[in-house]
């Protein structure tokens, strides 16, 4: 081998090794460091607002934020269900709770703005978690695009993208008053892989990820200290997905483990705004996306069929 070829191979080898070492180290750092959520627990009586807080992951966010001393506004569409949650939460924690009852399909009228703004008026709001998702109906299903009616199209877009956009429009100026602040957007593994039966959900989640990315830079450009993150999430055991604690595994997170992992990943001043907080999901996506597209599609189709079967059992 000539000296120049030998040198070229050595440079390529050293660069590859450095890249792998850097990636491994930053991944370990990302998943192993402790939570910095307390960065947002500042000022007089800090508040967090969680959308879609009457169940599943949203309700677990409420619990873990209250455990960390945050007062929490629970958003949901059913006042009865939210009041029931309130009666379970209040005896457990010393913090305060408020309710924001709003159907996420509601149009952004002046009354809508008034309801949102009066819920946060006078509060030291430092955290907003955009968790709500759905199709505007009582139950979520997985129709193929060809089967969508106009109303169903609007339902998916309204709940998953439009509502979150309007809430951000109203709440970002409120967060700016109590900097540093945190805004999280729940996204999904569907943005990593093509998911049949979830086209509009996928489109909406991709929209939220893109919105987060831009807002993150806009905040920096304007000198604001607001952390913006979207959470690329794999399977979490909630009633909506037809999963329960007994289905929890390395790749199916419990709500508790998922939320704990998420709260551990915030408060950093560096890193990308699009994160996969739960390590089992990160490994799963990494393995699947490294496969040839045809194989990825086969795996995704089989996963979707399983989810459809679980959802059918739920019904």
Residues that bind ligand NAP (CB under 6 A): 52-58, 76-78, 81, 103-105, 131-134, 136, 159, 186, 188, 233, 235-236, 238-241
Query: Residue 55 Cβ, how far from ligand NAP at the closest point, in Å?
Result: 4
Which residue number, 136 or 178, has a Cβ lying nearer to ligand NAP?
A: 136
H helix count then E strand count, the chain: 10, 7
Query: Residue 235 Cβ, how far from ligand NAP at the closest point, in Å?
Result: 4
Query: Residue 163 Cβ, how far from ligand NAP at the closest point, in Å?
Result: 7
Contacts of 184 (CB under 8 A, 6+ apart): 127, 128, 129, 130, 131, 229, 230, 231, 262, 266
Place of tokens 């109203």: 170
CB 208 within 8 A of CB 164: yes
Residue with the closest Cβ to ligand NAP? 56
Which residue number, 126 or 135, has a Cβ lying nearer to ligand NAP?
A: 135
Query: Residue 253 Cβ, how far from ligand NAP at the closest point, in Å?
Result: 8
d(CA 71, CA 47): 5
Query: Residue 59 Cβ, how far from ligand NAP at the closest point, in Å?
Result: 7
Which residue number, 90 or 239, has a Cβ lying nearer to ligand NAP?
A: 239
CB 267 within 8 A of CB 36: yes
Which residue number, 183 or 186, has a Cβ lying nearer to ligand NAP?
A: 186
């Amino acid at each position: 081998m000539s000296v120049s070829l030998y040198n070229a191979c050595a440079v390529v080898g050293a660069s590859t090794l450095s890249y792998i070492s850097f990636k491994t180290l930053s991944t370990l750092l990302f998943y192993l460091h402790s939570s910095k959520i307390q960065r947002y627990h500042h000022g007089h009586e800090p508040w967090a607002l969680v959308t879609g807080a009457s169940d599943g992951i949203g309700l677990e966010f409420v619990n873990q934020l209250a455990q960390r001393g945050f007062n929490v506004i629970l958003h949901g569409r059913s006042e009865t269900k939210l009041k029931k949650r309130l009666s379970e939460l209040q005896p457990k924690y010393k913090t305060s709770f408020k309710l924001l009852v709003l159907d996420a399909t509601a149009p952004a009228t002046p009354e809508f703005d008034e309801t949102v703004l009066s819920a946060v008026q006078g509060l030291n709001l430092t955290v907003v978690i955009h968790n709500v998702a759905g199709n505007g109906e009582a139950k979520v299903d997985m129709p193929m695009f060809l089967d969508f009616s106009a109303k169903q199209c609007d339902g998916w877009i309204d709940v998953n993208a439009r509502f979150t956009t309007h809430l951000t429009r109203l709440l970002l100026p409120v967060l700016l008053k109590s900097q540093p602040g945190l805004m999280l957007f729940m996204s999904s593994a569907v943005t990593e892989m093509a998911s049949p039966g979830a086209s509009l959900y996928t489109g909406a989640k991709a929209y939220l990820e893109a919105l987060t990315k831009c807002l993150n830079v806009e905040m920096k450009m304007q000198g604001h200290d607001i952390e913006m993150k979207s959470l690329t999430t794999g399977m979490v055991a909630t009633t909506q997905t037809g999963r329960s604690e007994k289905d929890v595994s390395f790749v199916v997170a419990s709500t508790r483990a998922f939320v704990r992992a998420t709260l551990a990943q915030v408060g950093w001043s560096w890193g990308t705004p699009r994160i996969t907080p739960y390590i089992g999901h990160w490994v799963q996506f990494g393995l699947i996306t490294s496969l040839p597209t045809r194989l990825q599609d086969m795996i995704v189709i089989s996963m979707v069929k399983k989810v459809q079967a679980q959802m059918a059992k739920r019904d």
